[in-house]
Structure 1
Amino acid sequence: MALEFLKALNDAVVAHAKMQPEQTIGETIKLHTVKDGLPHLNGVQLVVIGILENRRDANALFQVESLDHVREKFYELYPGNWSSTIADLGDVPPGDTVEDTYYLIRQLTKHFLQESIIPIFLGGSQDLMYPMYRAFDEFQHMINVVNIDCRFDLGNIELPITSRSYVGKMITVEPYNLFNYSNLGFQTYFNSQDEIELLDRMYFDAIRLGHLDNDITLAEPVLRDADLIGVDMSVVRAGDLASAKANPNGLDGKQICSLSRYSGISDRLKVYGIFEINNERNYGAQLVAEMMWYFIEGYNYRIFEYPVDVSKDFMVYKVPVDNQTLTFYKSTDSTRWWIELPFISNVNNKLKQHTLLPCDRRDYEMACDQVLPDRWLNARRKNEV
């Protein structure tokens, strides 16, 4: 069983957890310890797993050896009004080869998908998203992946996989399970024009940093539709990471925590990862811990509207645009919006499980102004390819 290969937490970090005041996360979380072994997962909804693997990161100077600096900060926080139970299962040690690590991550992800437990992976290089993505192969045909990153990570598909090319492998390697890839927070000068044009040709979604700076809520419908979300910490600006090695421009701490909360609230999301965490002690550890906190906070506020049942507790709005009628649905419980993707006959329709697309009120208002929403157009174009 894949769980048996996980490395127990160091005694020092376990002692740190037990030294925390009553009611902190360190006092309430289940721990994988050397003394007691793996905790029972009955009733556990979320697990934390570190991954000590970054050999496919060309910019990494050293092997990642520990993520305990993040754990210590996380254990010191107080939980919100949460009903969920959390366990920290320790670390995935680096295998003899990177492929060995990939195999273990894939098996772990598959196990948690089967058990309906959401893993919060702490990495490690972001190519680790690839085996997580592959774990979905046996469960459903098409999934949506969101990358919160200053880069697209499409890369050169002819070369071996790296932390800058894993998305290209998702697109080109069979089985073809990627229905939609979305990027949040990209910066144009970090991406080649070839990559930008390829994203456009494949009708994938991308929201640049400047647009998120103006309105972070633009990301919510994208994250609501995701099965797998990965955060590359290089998307956060240097000042908020207290690191001179990070990028001068990027999302601030408040924004990345908002995106983490949106991710947790997504009823559809099954796997969440935070990658490229600075291995130097204390740099960014507090922010990563707070991102984890906001993700779990979001999870505890899930309304469970996915899969969407519009037969009850939904308001319907029909908007004629050109020669068609767009149908919008607004939940009376959460006030969230969806737009219908009509079944298109006489083609090989790929959208039978994606009949409703998350959107927001702005998309409805655009339709009222006779403008077709971009995400709706992209979904229709992908269906017609």
Structure 2
Amino acid sequence: MNLALFFDSLPDELLAPTAVPTALAAYLTPFGEAFPDWRAADLALIGLDEWRGSAAGPPPPGHHGANRVRERFYQLQKSTGPLRLVDLGNLRPGPTLEDTYQRLREIVAALLEAGTVPLLLGGGHDLDIGQFTAYEALNQSITFAVVDAKPDMGLPLPSAPAEATHLRRLLTHEPNIIFSCAHLGHQQYLTPPDVLAAFEKLHFETMSVGELRTDRRLAEPLLRQADFLSFDVAAIRWQDAPGYHPASPFGLSNEDAAQLCWYAGHNPQLSSLGLYGYRPEHDPHGLAAATLATMLWYFVEGYNHRKPETGFGTYRFLTYTLVLPNPQPNEPTELVFYKSRRQDDVPKWWMEVEGLADQSLKRIVPCTHQDYLQAAQGILPKRWIWTQALLG
């Protein structure tokens, strides 16, 4: 597949040699005169400038969000780990919005097949439709995570912009390829109660901005089981990322956002990242661009620290088997937990879940130490109940 046909090369000012030999710009391969070898890369940056799904329309001429973030990202320092990063340039929008979704789907699918992680930057949040549908080619169920100030579950009315309804479209997509979904960072006063009730009925986890900011480590298991992450800049408070409209003084901090990207990058299962919604016309001082560039840096840094989490039941993990007292007819008699022996910033726990109707259906899912402590008291963790329900 000749991906170069779908992209515009980067402007000359981004291709100029860097004066800092240790900056990322000295190590990544951008689309200048020649299109980069994306098949040999670990990560591929893709700029997006499609706003037909946004109620606010496109930014004024000369405001290109992905290029603005690149200016900051390129100048950050490369870490000590190896880095095979390419920048494919900016995706040319299709004749229609649906054409852009399809174009993005084909490009992301090609990168996934090559084992290259796409880093999607810019455009409306509805562009994660293309990111999501690319996973159909894998022929397997997936789990994904969304970070946003509210779940975009609006009804698909003719007057509704695509960015207000895109999550509903993902969750109702046919064929159904979703095993589970997690929504993080929602603000209660922006989120209709029936939307949260729908997530609970579907056995999908949610974490409000208050819960996440109280202990952001609780978000780590949700990102550790995700195949992709879709992040709307509107989830970050305006003071830290003034690059969206309407402004909100509440939300995640820039430190929260960077930590979530570190968790996502560190997950060996996660194979694409989308950072959406940045509007440079609202960011005169480049603060939001710097925040997004740092989020990208933390994702890449997490990627460089990836290690496969395999061999459950071997010396790599501590195994804990808990016998549950007085189990009910539809409850297990024991629960098995695994804890990695690796010394990470967040101790990594997993829980074994078997289907009660069919014990051949088994899944080992990320969990928290609190889940283990709850089970040790004879209480089934909610995460076990919901995963068992998803197993059918």
TM-score (ref. length: structure 1): 0.92
The aligned residue for residue 144 of structure 1 is 143
State the Cα deviation string for residues 190-235 of structure 1 (Å, max 9, x = none). 1112212111111110001111111000100000000010110000
Matched, 1:133 2:132: yes
CA distance in 1, matches of 2:148, 2:288: 16
Q: Aligned ranges for residues 118-197 of structure 1 at < 5 Å?
A: 118-157=117-156, 162-197=162-197
Structure 1 window deviating more from structure 2 (184-193 vs 248-257): it is 184-193
Q: Is the 8 A contact 1:157 1:172 kept in 2?
A: no
CA distance in 1, matches of 2:182, 2:114: 26
CA distance in 1, matches of 2:244, 2:12: 31
CA distance in 1, matches of 2:262, 2:311: 20
- RMSD of the alignment, in Å? 2.0
Q: How much identity, in percent, do the aligned residues show?
A: 29
The aligned residue for residue 342 of structure 1 is 354
Name structure 2 gaps, 5 residues minimum.
328-332
The aligned residue for residue 15 of structure 2 is 14
CA distance in 1, matches of 2:358, 2:260: 39
The aligned residue for residue 332 of structure 1 is 341
Q: Is the 8 A contact 2:264 2:299 kept in 1?
A: yes
- Count of residue correspondences: 375
The aligned residue for residue 315 of structure 1 is 318
Q: Is the 8 A contact 2:241 2:287 kept in 1?
A: yes
The aligned residue for residue 277 of structure 1 is 278
Query: Following TM superposition, by how much is the alpha carbon of 1:172 offset from its aligned partner in structure 2, in angstroms?
Result: 1.5
State the Cα deviation string for residues 18-75 of structure 1 (Å, max 9, x = none). 1331111011111101xx2202235410111011111111134537644211001001
Structure 2: which amino acid aligns with 1:118? V
Q: Aligned ranges for residues 161-310 of structure 1 at < 5 Å?
A: 162-242=162-242, 245=245, 246-280=247-281, 282-305=286-309, 309-310=312-313
The aligned residue for residue 55 of structure 1 is 52
Q: Is the 8 A contact 1:278 1:284 kept in 2?
A: no
Structure 2: which amino acid aligns with 1:103? Q
CA distance in 2, matches of 1:244, 1:278: 5
The aligned residue for residue 362 of structure 1 is 370
Q: Is the 8 A contact 1:20 1:75 kept in 2?
A: no
Q: Is the 8 A contact 2:23 2:77 kept in 1?
A: yes
Decide whether aligned partners of structure 1 residues 168 and 39 sit closer, same or farther in structure 2, where only a CA change above 3 A counts. Answer: same
Query: Following TM superposition, by how much is the alpha carbon of 1:134 offset from its aligned partner in structure 2, in angstroms?
Result: 0.8
Q: Is the 8 A contact 1:24 1:75 kept in 2?
A: yes
State the Cα deviation string for residues 321-350 of structure 1 (Å, max 9, x = none). 341211101111254110001133359x8x
The aligned residue for residue 330 of structure 2 is none
Decide whether aligned partners of structure 1 residues 147 and 99 sit closer, same or farther in structure 2, where only a CA change above 3 A counts. Answer: same
Decide whether aligned partners of structure 1 residues 237 and 72 sit closer, same or farther in structure 2, where only a CA change above 3 A counts. Answer: same
Structure 1 window deviating more from structure 2 (4-13 vs 224-233): it is 4-13
CA distance in 2, matches of 1:248, 1:279: 18
CA distance in 1, matches of 2:339, 2:124: 39
The aligned residue for residue 108 of structure 1 is 107
User: The residue matched to 2:295 in structure 1 has which SS?
Assistant: helix
User: The residue matched to 2:239 in structure 1 has which SS?
Assistant: helix
CA distance in 2, matches of 1:161, 1:181: 22
User: The residue matched to 1:163 in structure 2 has which SS?
Assistant: helix
User: The residue matched to 1:67 in structure 2 has which SS?
Assistant: helix
Structure 1: which amino acid aligns with 2:341? T
Q: Is the 8 A contact 1:2 1:104 kept in 2?
A: no
CA distance in 2, matches of 1:50, 1:372: 44
Runs of 4+ in structure 1 deviating by more than 4 angstroms, as ranges, are 157-161, 242-245
Structure 1: which amino acid aligns with 2:342? D
Q: Is the 8 A contact 1:2 1:108 kept in 2?
A: no
Q: Aligned ranges for residues 26-105 of structure 1 at < 5 Å?
A: 26-33=25-32, 36-41=33-38, 43-60=40-57, 62=59, 65-105=64-104
Q: Is the 8 A contact 1:224 1:266 kept in 2?
A: yes
Name structure 1 gaps, 5 residues minimum.
none
Decide whether aligned partners of structure 1 residues 312 and 43 sit closer, same or farther in structure 2, where only a CA change above 3 A counts. Answer: farther
**Correspondent of 1:374 among 367, 382, 390:** 382
State the Cα deviation string for residues 61-92 of structure 1 (Å, max 9, x = none). 53764421100100111011121211111011
CA distance in 1, matches of 2:196, 2:229: 20
CA distance in 1, matches of 2:161, 2:313: 42
Query: Following TM superposition, by how much is the alpha carbon of 1:142 offset from its aligned partner in structure 2, in angstroms?
Result: 0.9
Structure 1 window deviating more from structure 2 (184-193 vs 238-247): it is 238-247
Q: Is the 8 A contact 1:124 1:275 kept in 2?
A: yes
State the Cα deviation string for residues 238-279 of structure 1 (Å, max 9, x = none). 111246843110111111100010000011100101000122
User: The residue matched to 2:123 in structure 1 has which SS?
Assistant: coil
Decide whether aligned partners of structure 1 residues 265 and 124 sit closer, same or farther in structure 2, where only a CA change above 3 A counts. Answer: same
Query: Following TM superposition, by how much is the alpha carbon of 1:188 offset from its aligned partner in structure 2, in angstroms?
Result: 1.2
CA distance in 1, matches of 2:365, 2:351: 5
